[in-house]
Chains A and B, each alone.
Chain A
């Protein structure tokens, strides 16, 4: 090799080394520039991790025996990733035939909308059931197998169509116990919440806490996604079978009597557990958006807790219990009924405006004499009378664990809206208002040796693999055990003497009918009434208290005619559901 060639090679080598060095320097410079750092940070932010909000599964709702009343089912969101669409006509056709959507709307959304706004993903439909997804999937696979007959032929294709599963609130019993359960607005996937009943009352508990997690796309960085604990499940005190029977009886009673509404509440007086709470109308909770249609304003969702009314003569039970407890009267205390009594400048008459002559407290209750009960309240005096009413919880919410409980304040002596006549009218349940639940809670004390239990619908909460049971609570002792037994016997005798339609063969029950006039803007002028019945049994060992309210029945205005037979029906159904033998058999079993 000549020296010239060697020199040239040497120069070339030096030049190439310099160029190579410069390239390396430039690479280092670019990699360390501010733009590169920014780009790298953006890439990490946008592509390394995906931010995902994980919603826990909403807790289930069960009846007292663990039967599901509210759960979740799997449904799908169907959408289109427009970048992969090959044939928008096929997709629009599929959406029309399977998802029952409008062809033109869908076609425009996946063609024109995409061009205009540059969106990449379009939701076609949500809450699609599995059967439809199966149909879409099969169609998509069939189209994939097609081969073009001619060059350039446009084949049908569902490329780009995607479906994502998620859970949807579901109520397998449809309308059963709807007034207790309430509903969850599942169509609003981000802002959905519970409305009414336990769905609203325990919304936070059922919903759990959603979490936001950073899910790495890089498989090297993948870690287990934190487990989101599902929402707590709750077990209610209601018995699905009893609830179904009560709803059926309520619907029949409403139809038979032409009533505006019917409410039936069944409670265990020993612990305050609500076994059933039927209220009309009902709502299929899977179609909760029909709420406004079924409950036009101001119809309450659950009349047992959401509507106060003047209960009428069923209230006499509380007046008589108070008087017996105070020692003012006994069941045999005589009273001469003259058919009218004057109080506060007004005259009060009996329901039939007749004088019933010599009576005892038992027959006063048997014949539901307003004049007699006014006299009893006068014997008690306003101070003690209202002390007893307050002790029974009248004028105060029961604080049951259901959303939407209302209350009507009790007018007391000294209040602007209290007049001396109130003592008389209040004694037989007019001029005072209460919800059916307030009434059954108060009367429950008479069936439980004077102990008033907190009414409740929650039996237990199941959270984090543990079951926490609700403990029954005594919320008052308005009367003594002795007085409670005395009034129970009095009311059992009065029903038997009256040969009431409420009686049930083989089972001794205590109770009282009620017929209340309905106040309007011009006073009590309407012929329509509220018919009620409150009763409990078996008298020697009460296992249930039942409250019945028929609003504005048209077949008859009297509680003894429309409400008492309903009570009998309810008890006949209850004793079978509760496996309660007739009194003679039960007492025989106890003795053995």
Chain B
């Protein structure tokens, strides 16, 4: 038994409150640890719930936007419909183009009016796919592993 141990034992024997403080400290440590874990859990849970509600909210907004777009397209089509445009043209003093009215000109390299092109043809990969940063999909272990790798080999770069 070393001298230090003897001194400690003597100190505890001489002052029992030190034992009580030690126990109290340990108890408080456990409580604080528990509170910290619980706080962390609550914080993450709250964030998850908020994110969940945000997703629901965005989903509703997306549906609303889809409907609104369809509705606006329809309104635009109505405003440019045959009957409405004919009335507007008449009100503005235009008259119907007759067979003798047009004057034809040569426009070099003009191929004529193009047919409706609503989307790219198949085979052309022009639509960018959504890009998620790896940080959103990596596990903690993967992130650490990647970090260590990039630290040891800078050519790999930080993969955030």
Contact = CB atoms under 8 A, between A and B. Distances in A.
A576 B95 CA distance: 14
A466 B49 contact: no
A241 B55 CA distance: 45
Nearest to A466: B122
A572 interface: yes
Interface of B: 45, 48-53, 55-56, 59, 64, 66-68, 70-71, 73-78, 80-83, 97-99, 101-102, 104, 106, 112-113, 115-122, 127
Given A67-B80, A68-B77, A467 B118 contact: yes
A311 to B, nearest CB: 28
A224 B70 contact: no
Given A223-B55, A467-B118, A67 B97 contact: no
A166 B122 CA distance: 31
Interface stretch (A71-79, A261-269, A513-521): A71-79
Given A60-B73, A172-B74, A173-B82, A466 B121 contact: yes
User: Would you call the interface of chain A mostly helix, strand, loop, or mixed?
Assistant: mixed
Interface string A464-478: 011111000000000
Interface string A232-248: 01010000110010000
A279 B151 CA distance: 76
Given A224-B59, A240-B82, A71 B118 contact: no
A72 B119 contact: no
Nearest to A589: B106
A501 B48 CA distance: 79
Q: Which of B77, B115, B120 lies at the interface centre, i.e. has the most chain A CB atoms within 10 A of its CB? A: B77
Given A72-B70, A504-B99, A64 B106 contact: no
A167 B78 contact: no
Contacts of B82: 173, 176, 240-241, 244
A320 B99 CA distance: 32
Nearest to B121: A467
B74 A467 contact: no
A172 B48 contact: no
Q: Which of A69, A173, A504 lies at the interface centre, i.e. has the most chain B CB atoms within 10 A of its CB? A: A173
A462 B119 contact: yes
Contacts of B52: 218-222
Interface string A50-64: 000000010010111
- 4 nearest CB pairs, A to B: A66-B116, A219-B52, A222-B52, A68-B77
A165 interface: yes
A235 B115 CA distance: 10
A585 interface: yes
A392 B138 CA distance: 67
B102 A74 contact: no
A57 B66 contact: yes
A221 B77 CA distance: 41
Interface in A549-592: 572, 575-576, 579, 581, 585, 589, 592
A174 B120 contact: no
Contacts of A398: none
A381 B48 CA distance: 85
B116 A71 contact: no
Interface string A360-392: 000000000000000000000000000000000
14 contacts: A73-B75, A74-B68, A166-B67, A167-B71, A176-B81, A218-B52, A219-B52, A222-B55, A222-B56, A235-B116, A465-B119, A467-B121, A572-B98, A589-B106
A466 B122 CA distance: 6
Given A173-B81, A224-B59, A468 B122 contact: yes
Contact of B127 (A72, A165, A173, A465): A465
A237 B77 CA distance: 18
A225 B55 CA distance: 9
A459 interface: yes
B115 A576 contact: no
B97 A576 contact: yes
A536 B9 CA distance: 118
A69 B82 CA distance: 11
A579 B74 contact: no
Contact of A73 (B48, B74, B106): B74
Interface in A205-231: 218-225
Contacts of A167: 67, 70-71
Contacts of A506: 99
A289 interface: no
Contacts of B48: 219-220
A220 B41 CA distance: 13
A468 B122 CA distance: 7
A65 interface: yes
B74 to A, nearest CB: 4
A165 B67 contact: yes
A170 B118 contact: no
A544 B68 CA distance: 40
Q: Which of B55, B75, B82, B106 lies at the interface centre, i.e. has the most chain A CB atoms within 10 A of its CB? A: B82
Nearest to A62: B116
Contacts of B112: 579
Nearest to A176: B82
Given A167-B70, A174-B83, A219 B118 contact: no
B104 A467 contact: no
Contacts of B117: 66, 467
Contacts of B116: 62-66, 235, 459-460
Contacts of B64: 165
B67 to A, nearest CB: 5
B120 A467 contact: yes
Contact of B121 (A73, A173, A235, A469): A469
Q: Which of A60, A67, A74, A244 lies at the interface centre, i.e. has the most chain B CB atoms within 10 A of its CB? A: A74
A73 B120 contact: no
Given A235-B118, A244-B82, 8 more contacts: A66-B118, A74-B71, A165-B64, A166-B67, A467-B117, A467-B120, A469-B121, A592-B106
Contacts of B80: 67
Nearest to A244: B82
